[in-house]
Amino acid sequence: MLHYAIVFLIIALVAGLLGFVGVAGTAAYIAKILFVIFLVLFIISLIGGRRGPIA
């Protein structure tokens, strides 16, 4: 998930440098959404964690 966020961020930066403002804005928005989803899932996995066997 984080990988895709970084890829969309790079696409947004390149599109912004080349003057494609609409594409850059859309890619940046997608990158932001993916990063937020990554953070939420990461925090949930930290809270849940791995639990040992019930013995």
What pLDDT does 2 receive? 83
Quote the pTM value.
Answer: 0.74
What pLDDT does 8 receive? 87
Tell me the DSSP string of 24-38: HHHHHHHHHHHHHHH
Domain ranges for the chain? 2-42
**Which residue is it, tokens 């080349």?**
18
Among residues 26, 6, 5, 29, which one has the least CA distance to residue 15?
A: 26
**pLDDT mean by block of 10 residues, the chain; 55 residues:** 86 90 90 92 86 69
Q: Residue 53: which residues within 8 A CB-CB, separation 6 or more?
A: none
What pLDDT does 55 receive? 65
Query: CA-CA distance, 18 to 37, in Å (whole number)?
Result: 28
